[in-house]
Amino acid sequence: MLFPSLPKQSMDFFERMYYGRGYQRIAGVDEVGRGPLAGPVVAAAVILPKEGIGEELFDSKKISSKKREHLYETILTEAQEVGIGIIGQEEIDRLNVLQATLKAMALAIENLPTPPDFILIDGPHGLRLSIPQKPIRKGDQLCNSIAAASIVAKVTRDRMTQEWHQKYPQYNFAKHKGYGTKEHRRAIEKFGVCELHRKTFRGVKEYL
């Protein structure tokens, strides 16, 4: 006999929980770009309307680029507020990528036009902010506002890679987005390191 499957937790579970505790402006925050060999970490913070938006939201890594672009435009139109935080490759090298990621997320929160009164954070780490907050492992798969933030961060960074490609076509940033693919590693070996590369990362530092 098969056991019945447990009901799946709804994507607005955490928002509803904290609205129920009296919070009114709940921001989800997520980042993209920890793993690449080049370019910045980009974070986004999103405050959705209490009723959500007219689209089902997903972790940005689990949907096509076309779907991400569509949801990105919907989020920018329907969200109450959106903030972006960007920490460049030089600061990643100076701080380390985890600290740069946390700084980008805090900056995204600070760049919201109006401060939130609660933050839902993707991952296990809290932020050095005085605002009440809840870190959620795999939050981009469990929470609407974090999923929205993951989409905004991903599309923002992907659009940046198109600009890098125009300046440094030999690396083909438009295709691999700065990640350490075989093609990218071969390009570094052939053409050397450019200003966008993270000079403390394995796969880059060997060619300085």
Question: Which tens digit of pLDDT belongs to each residue from 48-63?
Answer: 999 999 889 988 888 9
Q: pLDDT for 63-72, tens place per residue? A: 999 999 999 9
Q: pLDDT for 177-191, tens place per residue? A: 999 999 999 999 999
Instruction: Return the CATH fold of 13-160.
Output: Nucleotidyltransferase; domain 5 (3.30.420)
Question: Alpha-carbon distance 70 to 42, whole Å?
Answer: 19
Q: pLDDT for 93-109, tens place per residue? A: 999 999 999 999 999 99
Question: Alpha-carbon distance 194 to 188, whole Å?
Answer: 8
Listed by start position, the domains of the chain span: 13-160
Predicted model pTM: 0.94
